[in-house]
Structure 1
């Protein structure tokens, strides 16, 4: 098995977008998988850990008006609810007004740098709004008094006003709440907002991948969490492989805390291979954490969290000699792409070719290569390494908010409308006009398929590792 990446490719998958007058789907094809081994790749998203959740829909909302050159449009504005995998509930607002939100879309907790918030100088003010408004402030009488709202606030007013204030910073939109109380709250929040730092993740493992030689402690992998403690799950084949998860003192670990260092203890005679560990905890996710979709669904920002299940995974790769890469990936909106990081703990240079450029990572060094992608471009990377290691990373690059000219739907309804492209149905929430359902509107809308095209990205390994007995 090659000690370098034997293949890395990107595929463009169909993305459904719904506009108020036209229904358009875009499909970009970027290459095919090349030279992959027979092993099944483990599929992951570009999440460094935390909560994963499923969109439930818009639950508490009012009405807002977007003012544009083409005219005014009424939309629903308010608070979403998501159910956490493993248990828990999240409340969120959206930070991309012109992008639709799909019912049942999968979301994962992510750093601002992997979303449009990373390049938004007002992102810290959005977090301030979240901390000082509904639902974090659920005493609506007090909130109304601070905002100077006469007659008080309903939950719908509070949710709509908060969402409108967020849109003014997340999308720099010219948007007003329809209700006078909600509009008064939005003005107060916008004018009062201060810059607040990005919150830490609920749970991450750093680094997410390590490598080394059998007989060594591979690591450390450091636990970062706001939970009081985490459980540590050893590799699934630990009983047969002999790989143990230990602390820096070499003693087995089944639990850890924030700041704990975790190591893979690989037997000295182990053949070339790899293993994963998972840590899990129950905690509240910090307000202001971003949630990105695994499909093309509107980016969310956390407004409230119940006690919820969070998890993170780290991997280890080992070999007796040759290049031994530890591989990980992360979306990087500042560079408009996905960062592929390789840490080489072997005794030979790890050499690979990316888009016609050869890269070499000397023994003991770590380097990152950025794969440039287009906005809204789904990707599908399979990265292979020694001992049959294959990791598959999938997602969609969502680094910018959309504007009205992009042809996307505007905001959301409380109930989704189904749309079918190529036989696949997606529940997508559309904008409301006067608070009414758009289902009759889209029932007779034609579907246009636009093939945009793309270029293949292939990462080919150059250095072969010796076969281990």
Structure 2
């Protein structure tokens, strides 16, 4: 069951107490502007930027055996391949052994905090394995020598051994590679792994939701990239809307670097409305970036990237008076929920109802609340703004691997269609996977829902009193 609801805006004043409880070769920025009118959802604001790709299945793999209370089961173990929207190819390993891989699932680059890696103390060791094994190390003779393997490694052995070592840290799995060479590699990688920091996003924008009054510079929106220089284009409809993308000096921006601040320059006579800024680049995505799907397809981690298209978006909302909210969201696996940040740069409180609870963001302040969610729970809701626009948040909370000993349903890819080992999906939607269960809940029963309306508790996790957004 997917919970869907809209949070209406109300104009009641007074605060309501919350219930306790990457190498870039080029980049383009464009803006889409909408004015106030009938309520519209201006998109999902929880994406934090990066690559978007479609999974294509296992391409280089061997076999592994998982030992658990239900007995020994053979699974495929190796590298997946993804096709990036806009161009590019990614290679990934699985870090979510007991969930299925859905056919043609769309994946988004994500921070570790929004995945099981965010609550896994060994996540850094997984990144070390990725940096020190196949395909990052494609000299297999050298890799075999480091691992003390006599007789060399095939690509299939290297992929299987690497995946097995990753599973031991990502899922705490009792798993062995079938091939002796692959097993020796897995043991070497597991024993040698050291903690390595999470890589930053291939491309992201800090301050991705801003608000203010017409005639002001709305921002800043800060570019984060490894490029020495990036290119910034003006809004596509700048001649009609008059909205410009400028620097802090008010001059049109034609190039930017890491740390550059961008602003929406909105004409003083503009009607209440909003604009969306899209930043796009060609980049190599850093090894170790997580990739998640909203279709409950198993979480992946990046092992290799070609030059690929990546993007990030930012939104601006403006009005001459009243509440002027800016809304954004991010999954919070440590907090078992979704963090929603609401900033209000208007002259009135922004008050809205969410799941039967009324909330108020005083003028000139920003607050973050965590909506508690169950694991594997889908959500879909819209918070309406005072100018007749709405911000929609959709997704699935997928924060934990399911190392509970449940039976696995595994498949081995045989191009062009998968052959099953140990069972088949009733829907036929699972690709060759590295271990999954048909019993994996899409949502854990109708009693879970988004949160029981009227009984939900929103936890105030941050309160930032300030006079200006940024």
Question: Is the TM-score greater than 0.5?
Answer: yes
Q: Aligned runs of 1:61-460 on 2, under 5 Å? A: 61-406=61-406, 409-410=409-410, 413=413, 415-416=417-418, 426-430=429-433, 452-453=446-447, 454=449, 455=451, 457=453
Cα distance, 1:233 vs structure 2: 4.8
d(CA) in 2 for partners of 1:47, 1:379:
15
Cα distance, 1:227 vs structure 2: 3.1
Cα distance, 1:271 vs structure 2: 1.4
d(CA) in 2 for partners of 1:72, 1:127:
28
d(CA) in 1 for partners of 2:344, 2:56:
42
Q: Is the 8 A contact 2:2 2:379 kept in 1?
A: no
Q: Is the 8 A contact 1:329 1:393 kept in 2?
A: yes
TM-score (norm 2): 0.83
Cα distance, 1:226 vs structure 2: 2.1
SS in 2 for 1:168: helix
C-alpha distance 336-233 of structure 1, shift in aligned 2 (>3 A): farther
TM-score (norm 1): 0.83
Task: Map Cα deviations across residues 365-412 of structure 1 (whole Å, 9 max, x no partner).
Answer: 110111111111111122222333222222111000013545563476
d(CA) in 2 for partners of 1:45, 1:62:
39
d(CA) in 2 for partners of 1:31, 1:376:
16
d(CA) in 1 for partners of 2:443, 2:323:
45
SS in 2 for 1:308: strand
C-alpha distance 39-89 of structure 1, shift in aligned 2 (>3 A): same
Q: Is the 8 A contact 1:226 1:258 kept in 2?
A: yes
Q: Is the 8 A contact 1:102 1:416 kept in 2?
A: no
Task: Map Cα deviations across residues 424-468 of structure 1 (whole Å, 9 max, x no partner).
Answer: x734435689xxxxxxxx9xx9xx999534355589xxxxxxxxx
Q: Is the 8 A contact 2:325 2:343 kept in 1?
A: yes
Q: Is the 8 A contact 2:49 2:312 kept in 1?
A: yes
- Report the RMSD for the aligned CA atoms in angstroms: 2.8
Cα distance, 1:171 vs structure 2: 0.2
